[in-house]
Amino acid sequence: MTATTHTEQKNGSPYLLSINNIEVIYNHVILALKGVSLDVHEGNIVALMGANGAGKTTTLKAISNLLRAERGDVTKGSIEFRGERVDAMTPDGLVKRGVIQVMEGRHCFGHLTVEENLLTGAYTRSISRAELKNDLERIYHYFPRLKTRRNSQAGYTSGGEQQMVAVGRAMMARPTMILLDEPSMGLAPQIVEEIFEIVKELNQKEKVSFLLAEQNTMIALRYSDYGYIIENGRVVMDGPAKELADNEDVKEFYLGLAKEGRKSFREVKHYRRRKRWLA
């Protein structure tokens, strides 16, 4: 893949999304992010990796502003989309500007049919029926499986199909950027591969940029252009996906690979306790 050249090409152009040193506090007391900065170039897929509770979801929610519904607040730093400050914007304001989040755990509307789910994605757009139909067909083109299940209640579809509904629903808003949270969660490896293939396709054909949070570092690095590794609410490492994948520390800590080949998980954990890489 031409991951690095892709990034280099875009270098110099203004960032699509730029997060500058944000701090997030939940309930006025719980410090979840301690100064996270990251940038996304237009047209890139950027991966945000790290363990459970590292702050990936919080970062995405800080951008989409779903944080406030969970009593979280961005207390320091700034978030800019196309050079415009968006920290104080409502979620629907952001969707109208082209940033939409696909939440962890899919969050389909269980009692609505697959098609109705997709239609809700276009809520912020005032478009004609014909355009709406057209857009639906476009989604079905990328997710043919959803077309066959269009009239079933989303709650009764499989996990993979629900993930497709969630991504398709977001696409109906015609976004320039999708914040995709943990797309692999609870899905069989084959389905995960299928979802990531579609993400790549949407990125290339529909020119949608992605910022995806993923625990599965292996697959995230394979499909993204650039990566950030986050630990305890801080970015501890970043670089082009290729370089990260070749980095010895990343191999050891996140991919479970050492020079001698695959290491046992137990050993890795033990070693990790001694060698912390807090910046």
Q: Which residues contact other proteins (rule: CB under 8 A)? A: 64, 66, 69-70, 90-92, 94-96, 100-103, 107-112, 116-117, 119-121, 123-124, 153, 155-156, 169-170, 173
Cβ contacts of 151-157, under 8 Å, gap ≥ 24: 151/113, 151/114, 151/115, 152/113, 152/114, 153/110, 153/111, 153/112, 153/113, 154/108, 154/109, 154/110, 154/111, 154/112, 154/113, 154/114, 154/117, 155/108, 155/110, 155/111, 157/108, 157/114
Rounded least distance, CB 268 to other proteins, Å: 32
Sheet-wide strand order for 17-26: 30-40, 17-26, 72-81, 84-85
Rounded least distance, CB 128 to other proteins, Å: 12
Q: Which is nearer to other proteins, 20 or 124 (CB)?
A: 124
Reduced to 3 DSSP states, what percent helix, strand and coil does the chain have, rounded to the nearest 5?
40, 25, 35
Q: Which is nearer to other proteins, 3 or 67 (CB)?
A: 67
Tell me the backbone φ, ψ of residue 107, rounded to 5 degrees.
Answer: 50, 55
Rounded least distance, CB 101 to other proteins, Å: 5
Q: Which is nearer to other proteins, 153 or 232 (CB)?
A: 153
Q: Which is nearer to other proteins, 70 or 267 (CB)?
A: 70
CA angle 49, 52, 56 (to 5 degrees): 45
Rounded least distance, CB 106 to other proteins, Å: 9
Rounded least distance, CB 122 to other proteins, Å: 8
The burial of 275, by beta-carbon neighbours within 10 Å (0-12 exposed, 13-18 middle, 19 or more buried), is given as exposed
Q: Which is nearer to other proteins, 45 or 166 (CB)?
A: 166
| Tokens coding 79 | 């978030």
Q: Which is nearer to other proteins, 175 or 240 (CB)?
A: 175
Rounded least distance, CB 202 to other proteins, Å: 16
